[in-house]
Homo-oligomer: A and B are copies of this chain.
Amino acid sequence: MKPAMPALFALVLAVPAVATPPVPMTPTLEGVADSALRNDTYAWDFVEGITTEVGPRQAGTEAEARGRAWAMRWLKANGFANVADEPFQMETWVPGEARAEIVSPFPQPLAVLALGDTASTGPDGLTAEVVLFRTVDDLRAAPEGSLKGKIAYISHSMTRTQDGSQYGFAGPARWVGAGIAASKGAVATVIKSVGTDSERTPHTGGTDFPQGVAPTPAGALAIPDANNLERMFARAGGKPIMMKLTLTPRSLGMTTSGNVVGEIVGRDPSLPPVLVACHIDSWWNGTGAIDDGAGCGIVAAAAKNVAASGRPLRTIRVLMAGAEETGLWGSKAYSAAHINEPIAVGLESDFGADRIWQFQSNFRDRNPGLHNRIVKAVARFGVSGGTGVASGGADINIVRDQKSAIIDLRQDGTRYFDLHHTANDTLDKIDPVQLRQNVAVWTQVVGILANEPGEILPRQ
């Protein structure tokens, strides 16, 4: 049955066709953000491209240089202006081989990776008794000299948290454990990986030795292997657990790295820009998808989306920092080089590719109007306004150094420490649906900031 045509519809059809083509409408900021939620392609294209065409990008190496060149090509091809690679010098460390095996009483190999900036055992490795410490505090309590000739093993537990706060809780095992053990005479340190997964892929990462303490070899066991080692202690009946550890990292001395920058130039380039940051390097073992290819894809996509809604008032500057993982070399170099060029507000994406759940700023009390406008604008994406004070992250030292305005777009980190600094940091771990929400929120927020005429005053 054919329904009768409603009267109104008939009326519309009766309007004569306009002969001239319609003037293309510039989409609104809300429109481009909503569009990103449905169909982001830029962030995905960036992270797929750099993980596929470059892969691992260890700081200071030729692979990172290829990563920077790739990112510059991508930025230029996507309409960014003033694209550059700003070089800096850095101390470069490369991982070499990594093997651990229990020699007795229960011989078997354990999956291990070297920690950043640690020393080599030499190619023949070293064999020593393992001493178990359940916490860093237990290790701190060990008498001076008591670890002479021993391998310290630090176990600890880390629980998945949405806000990633357990990194601060469990991280010290890696950050300072080897240094403390070395100061008490240990010949090497192994830790349970700082992570929340149960895969045979150890989590590497940086470690620091105190002034005056010579670096020792140090590695992270995969979590199943660490748990196996703890079961060995329980089953050995007091027999010593002997481990052979072969880690052959080395220093390449000073090499050149660089910060990749690019801009969407604003209508008033005299106004301080909005800085959106990420880092281009990764550890050697994964392909740097969630850490931090996705972050670079997100900030670049947001800037490009904002431009699609009309040229913004302020310039949006993208900073893809080099050599973050091995000591924030790029972030520090960028701050040193540009400290006298004020940034209006800075924000970074360096915590994976899952959903944003909270917005917070460091200007809520002095710029409540702007803060609340952002809160309202991102509510439709399921993002709440937080009352904490944003502090930014590793890639925006300059903004902290300038005491400028900062925004944190807090991502869901529940899965992040399953993958962080592991071989499993690969493209397949990115959920495209969550990534699109992330890009949409970033687009909305960066668009508001880049069109804000007034000064943004951070908390004093």
Contact A232/B200 with A111-B423, A428-B227 known, Cβ cut-off 8 Å = no
Tell me if B201 and A106 are in contact (CB < 8 A). Answer: no
A429 to B53, CA, bound (A): 34
A54 to B200, CA, bound (A): 17
A169 to B192, CA, bound (A): 38
Tell me if A426 and B108 are in contact (CB < 8 A). Answer: no
Contact A427/B52 with A108-B287, A201-B200 known, Cβ cut-off 8 Å = no
**Number of this chain's copies in the complex:** 2
> Per a CB cutoff under 8 Å, which of B55, B199, B225 touches A109?
B55
- Give chain A interface residues in 215-263, CB to chain B under 8 Å: 223-225, 227-228, 231-232, 235
Instruction: Please tell me if A386 contacts chain B, counting CB pairs below 8 Å.
Output: no
Contact A199/B198 with A56-B109, A108-B55, A426-B228 known, Cβ cut-off 8 Å = no
A233 to B224, CA, bound (A): 35
Nearest B residue to A236, CB-CB: B53
Instruction: Please tell me if A51 contacts chain B, counting CB pairs below 8 Å.
Output: yes
Per-residue CB contact flags for chain A residues 405-434 toward chain B (1 = under 8 Å, else 0) read: 000000000000000001110111100000
Instruction: Please tell me if A49 contacts chain B, counting CB pairs below 8 Å.
Output: yes
> Per a CB cutoff under 8 Å, which of B66, B223, B231 touches A52?
B231
Minimum CB–CB distance for A289 against chain B, Å: 9
Residues of B within 8 A of A199 (CB): 199, 201, 424
Residues of B within 8 A of A55 (CB): 106-109, 228
- Give chain A interface residues in 55-80, CB to chain B under 8 Å: 55-56, 63, 66
Residues of B within 8 A of A426 (CB): 198, 200, 224-225, 228
Instruction: Please tell me if A48 contacts chain B, counting CB pairs below 8 Å.
Output: yes
Nearest B residue to A224, CB-CB: B426
Residues of B within 8 A of A422 (CB): 200
Residues of B within 8 A of A427 (CB): 224, 227-228, 231
A232 to B52, CA, bound (A): 6
Tell me if A54 and B428 are in contact (CB < 8 A). Answer: no
A63 to B106, CA, bound (A): 11
Tell me if A52 and B428 are in contact (CB < 8 A). Answer: no
Residues of B within 8 A of A63 (CB): 107-108
Tell me if B228 and A51 are in contact (CB < 8 A). Answer: yes
Tell me if B224 and A53 are in contact (CB < 8 A). Answer: no
Nearest B residue to A423, CB-CB: B200
Tell me if A49 and B108 are in contact (CB < 8 A). Answer: no
Minimum CB–CB distance for A164 against chain B, Å: 22
Residues of B within 8 A of A428 (CB): 198, 223-224, 227
> Per a CB cutoff under 8 Å, which of B53, B56, B223, B228 touches A287?
B228
> Per a CB cutoff under 8 Å, which of B198, B232, B286, B424 touches A429?
B198
Residues of B within 8 A of A198 (CB): 426, 428-429
Nearest B residue to A429, CB-CB: B198
A51 to B199, CA, bound (A): 15
Minimum CB–CB distance for A195 against chain B, Å: 13
Residues of B within 8 A of A111 (CB): 423
Tell me if A48 and B287 are in contact (CB < 8 A). Answer: no
Residues of B within 8 A of A66 (CB): 107
Nearest B residue to A106, CB-CB: B53
Residues of B within 8 A of A231 (CB): 48, 52, 427
Residues of B within 8 A of A223 (CB): 428
Tell me if A52 and B287 are in contact (CB < 8 A). Answer: no
Residues of B within 8 A of A232 (CB): 52-53
Tell me if B423 and A108 are in contact (CB < 8 A). Answer: no
Starting from the known contacts A52-B231, A66-B107, A200-B286, 14 additional A-B residue pairs (CB-CB under 8 Å) come to A49-B235, A52-B232, A52-B235, A53-B235, A55-B106, A55-B107, A111-B423, A199-B201, A199-B424, A200-B422, A200-B424, A201-B201, A224-B428, A231-B427
Q: List 13 A-B contacts (CB under 8 A).
A: A49-B235, A52-B231, A54-B108, A55-B106, A108-B287, A198-B426, A198-B429, A199-B199, A199-B201, A200-B201, A224-B424, A224-B428, A228-B426
* A-B residue pairs, 8 tightest by C-beta: A55-B108, A200-B423, A224-B426, A52-B231, A198-B428, A53-B106, A224-B428, A200-B424
- Chain A contacts to B: CB under 8 angstroms: 48-49, 51-56, 63, 66, 105-109, 111, 198-201, 223-225, 227-228, 231-232, 235, 286-287, 422-424, 426-429
